[in-house]
Amino acid sequence: MRLLFLGDVVGRPGRRALAAFLPRLMARESIQFVIANGENASGGKGIDPRSAEELYESGVDVVTTGNHVWQNRDIIPYMRETDRLLRPLNFARDVPGLGWTVQTARRSDVRVGVLNLIGRVFMPPAECPFRAGAEAVEELRRHSSVIVVDMHAEATSEKVGMGRFLDGKVSAVFGSHTHVQTADDVATGTVIVQGGIVDVDEATGRASAIRRVRERVEV
């Protein structure tokens, strides 16, 4: 199967760019499942229920978040009712919401596990993402061969570390939070939709290919 990860969707320009561009990208690339980090989809900081719904309408299957997830309080009751909007699993125990989910792709019957983790380097306190990630992946593998991780973190090294830690156990580990890909481009002017497309063997859950998505969209 082919899946797409996008991050981070920032404010109205980000939501509009996805509404305009995502259906085209999905058709062009035969994408069956879309994960987007939406923690800053509302006003550039936080996410509210309406913005989450907008992302789903654009084609996103699962929305992941991070350190700004609680910026809009409206998201707390909404998060208790949905299993498509995640918050980092390694937040303090008993905070609202889910840290992982298993969803069926819209255009096929493949089940995809999505895990949301947050880093600790140059970030507010959280439980160990490696310990939480290892336990969650063990559980997720009982439900799905295809597993994608959003490692929401500041330091490239910590994201790469998680990639190596989960290598062979999950289909892909993506890094979010920095708003630009590690090419460190400065986001000015035209909106840039950024992410990655992964081809996954449905039987084994192993990734066979990954490509960068980086498209300028006029909105």
Looking at residue 152, its amino acid is H
Sole window of 59-67, 76-84, 105-113, 124-132 interacting with Fe ion (rule: CB under 5 A)? 59-67
Closest CB to Fe ion among 27 and 180? 180
Closest approach, Cβ 137 to Fe ion, in A, equals: 22
Gyration radius of the chain's alpha carbons? 16
- Between CA 51 and CA 131 the distance in angstroms is 31
Alpha-carbon distance of 161 to 125, in angstroms, equals 18
Indicate whether 175 belongs to the interface with Fe ion (CB under 5 A).
no
Catalytic residue among 68, 143, 152, 177: 68
Residue 118 to residue 56: CA distance in whole angstroms:
22
Please select the residue that binds Fe ion; options are 177, 197, 200, 205, rule is CB under 5 A.
Answer: 177
Residue 66 makes contact with Fe ion by CB under 5 A: yes
C-alpha to C-alpha distance for 124 and 189, rounded to whole angstroms: 30
Between 46 and 113, name the residue whose CB sits nearer to Fe ion.
Answer: 46
Stretch that binds Fe ion, among 22-30, 66-74, 106-114, 179-187 (CB under 5 A): 66-74
CB of 55 to Fe ion, least distance (A): 16
Would you count residue 145 as binding Fe ion (CB under 5 A)? no
Please say which residue, 32 or 64, places its beta carbon nearer to Fe ion.
64
Measure the CA dihedral 132/136/138/144, to 10°: -160
> Which residues have CB under 8 Å from 140's CB, separation 6+?
100, 102, 113, 115, 147, 170
- Cβ at position 150, least distance to Fe ion in Å: 11
Choose which of 32, 42, 58, 67 interacts with Fe ion (CB under 5 A).
Answer: 67
| Residue 122, H or E segment | none
Token representation of residue 87: 């918050």
| Residue with smaller CB distance to Fe ion, 8 or 54 | 8
Q: Is 68 a catalytic residue?
A: yes
Measuring CA to CA, which residue among 64, 71, 62 is closest to residue 42? 71
User: In the complex, which residues of this chain contact Fe ion (CB under 5 A)?
Assistant: 66-67, 177
Catalytically annotated residues: 68
